[in-house]
Structure 1
Amino acid sequence: MTSPPLRLALADDQILVRAGLRALLQDQGLVVAIEADDGQSLLDQLQPGSVDVVLSDIRMPGLDGIEALRALRARGDEVPVLLLTTFDDADLLLRAREAGAQGFLLKDAAPEDLREAIARVAAGETLLQPVSTDPVRARYRYRDEAPPTDTFGEREVAILRLLAGGYSNKEIARTLFLAEGTVKNYVSNILDKLGTRDRTRAVLKAITLRVI
């Protein structure tokens, strides 16, 4: 039996961008059930269970994507949210994660990457993606550029890349054929070497320092 297509809410203040995204998503068998040109319009239309994933621009006039996400979570709606950005603000990723976003993607991502990202967050995964491209790194530097306290082994770099993809410890363990406790120890060592207190900041600093 074929699963029903995923239903999406799409929010972007630029009409042409929104139309292009809608056409792209529909071509991939997805249903755009709600369209909004700002965060408030998105909130007004969303009802619990009405969509499987919210795909929203971050920068919109009035209520932006992150503020809309905070309001959504405050009223108890846990629908997965995938935020789109051009990545020109060094605080966006941290703000998005802290607000409760499941995913974070560059607007110039390939169509197949967008489709995969939607499917992953709909399935309950998280996605942190953009990672280590030079244009991103050039515009998005982590404020702490102190060097690591030690070098990184091949396994640690592999784990950092998976962290940058939004993988949980359990998913990393499964991917690398390690015990989950071993992965937890690796992550702890990575945080110590980078002098960061959480996974998101570790990834951002690793990108800035070209560890990944």
Structure 2
Amino acid sequence: MSAPLRIALADDQMLVRAGLRALLERLGLSIAFEADDGQALLDRLADTPVDVILSDIRMPGLDGIDALLRLRARGDRTPVLLLTTFDDSELLLRATEAGAQGFLLKDAAPEDLRDAIVRVAAGEVLLQPVSTEPVRARYRYHADDAPRALFTEREVSVLRLMAGGYSNKEIARAMFLAEGTVKNYVSVILDKLDTRDRTRAVLKAITLRVI
């Protein structure tokens, strides 16, 4: 039997941390330590490695995104799953560019929380749990940012799976396609959206109401 995933939990509210700790432990995960702000999180990570960091975005002092930037700057690639609320959506692009692997709404179901932690620990990127409407309202692209061509129904299906953090192999399996075919679809999608990576493509597709 494999050892439970070790989680670093960062939130400035003690009651929130206590609730999350109880929930995660009930789900079979292990809390390596808790931190009440970004600096405390960084200090503990220096000598206590974990499998996944579960952190609130908004914290006094050093917030979740600034802590993430400093973590990546010192070469620490530990997966980070950020807890967010609907009004946090303006931080989505900034957090993604800082190196976050995923976002989860604070009112997510327990099974969704566990699934998200397991998936980011395995190297996946999760963007879908964030409400798309506030993102669209906040990041409206100008006319010259519109897609270079319309998307086919199949390309939209691939984009939706990309948004869920699925790899090319997983998309191929889900859509009964060859992995090489999926790779070609992804290349076409990136070209149509004029983006250089999958994360930016998904965010831009959400903004432009493609998905």
Q: More helix by proportion, 1 or 2? A: 2
CA deviation after TM superposition for structure 1 residue 130, in Å: 2.3
User: What is the percentage of aligned positions where both structures have the same residue?
Assistant: 77
Aligned residues: 207
2:63 corresponds in structure 1 to 64
What amino acid is aligned across from residue 110 of structure 2 in structure 1? P
Paired position in structure 1 for 2:134? 139
Alpha-carbon deviation of 1:145?
5.7
Per the alignment, residue 99 of structure 1 pairs with 98
Question: Residue 71 and residue 169 in structure 1: after superposition, are their counterparts in 2 closer, same or farther (change >3 A)?
Answer: same
In structure 1, the residue matched to 2:39 is: 40
Distance 2:195 2:73 in 1: 28
Structure 1: segments with no counterpart, 5+ residues:
none
1:142-153 to structure 2, matched below 5 A, reads 142-144=139-141, 146=143, 148-153=147-152
Q: Which amino acid aligns with 2:165?
A: G
Structure 1: distance between partners of 2:117 and 2:21 = 13
The CA RMSD measured in Å over matched residues stands at 2.2
Q: Look up the SS of the partner of 1:19 in the other structure.
A: helix
Are the counterparts in 1 of residues 140 and 208 from structure 2 also a CA contact under 8 Å?
A: no
Any idea what SS the aligned residue of 1:70 has? helix
Question: Corresponding residue for 1:117?
Answer: 116
AA at the equivalent of 1:143: R
Residues in 2 aligned to 1:123 and 1:203: alpha-carbon distance in whole angstroms? 20
User: Structure 2 vs 1, CA of residues 199 and 99 (structure 1 numbering), >3 Å: closer, same or farther?
Assistant: same
For residues 74 and 132 of structure 2, the distance between their equivalents in structure 1, rounded to whole angstroms, comes to 35
Q: Is the 8 A contact 1:57 1:83 kept in 2?
A: yes
Report the TM-score, using the length of structure 1 for normalisation.
0.85
How far apart are the structure 1 equivalents of 2:35 and 2:48? Answer: 17
CA 1:159–1:104 in structure 2 vs 1: closer, same or farther (change >3 Å)?
Answer: same
Give the corresponding residue for 2:203: 204
Measure the CA separation in 2 of the matches of 1:67 and 1:54: 14
